[in-house]
Amino acid sequence: MNATLKPAGVALMLDNLTAAELMAPNPISITATANVQEALMLLTDKNFSAAPVIDDSGRPVGVISRSDLLVHDREQGVKVGAASEYFFDNDVALGARIAQAGFQVESVDRTIVEDIMTPAVFSVRPDTPASVVVSEMIGLHVHRLFVTDHDGTLIGVISTMDLLKKLRPAK
């Protein structure tokens, strides 16, 4: 069964597009000082597989992915704190009553995004030709490239899905 939308032999092209024409502008990003819970919420709420991590000046410094969060979670393991971590010694009995009532004390992960992100940023300029964008993604084995302006500020992101959406039959 042929699952392609076009008859076999029809070439698909990106024409003479540039990174600026391929990118999704103004990407949602997260700061390097955000905690892992914020990163998890961002990725799951927006249904992203990854997001750029930026510094205070808006420059990309890394990427946080669902994989980064999963690896971090696996390495953390389950840690149960002692009662004195959550209650004063004379409040231990109160803590026991709270637990019996069905409440739980959550162990807050204080790890920040910067500690678990992938610190590599693969980027192109807005005028980069589509052919170079594709070559870079293939050569680097990445699913996205960031687009930065002449100051290095993040202005867009190009994902493999963005490339696929722009493919057109050759003329």
* 119-167 tens-digit pLDDT: 999 999 999 999 999 999 999 999 999 999 999 999 999 999 999 999 8
Q: How far apart are CA 66 and CA 95, in angstroms?
A: 34
CA–CA distances in Å: residue 36 to residues 25, 30, 33, 46, 107: 25, 10, 9, 15, 13
Which CATH topology does 14-75+112-169 take? Answer: CBS-domain (3.10.580)
The reported pLDDT for the residue numbered 8 is 64
Beta bridge pairs of residue 169:
12
The tens digit of pLDDT for each residue in 54-68 reads 998 888 999 999 999
Instruction: State the pLDDT at residue 105.
Output: 60
pTM for the predicted model, two decimal places: 0.73
* pLDDT tens, position by position, 46-105: 999 999 999 988 889 999 999 999 999 888 866 555 544 555 555 555 556 666 666 666
Helices (H), 61-145: 66-76, 83-86, 92-100, 113-116, 130-140
Domain boundary assignment for the chain: 14-75+112-169
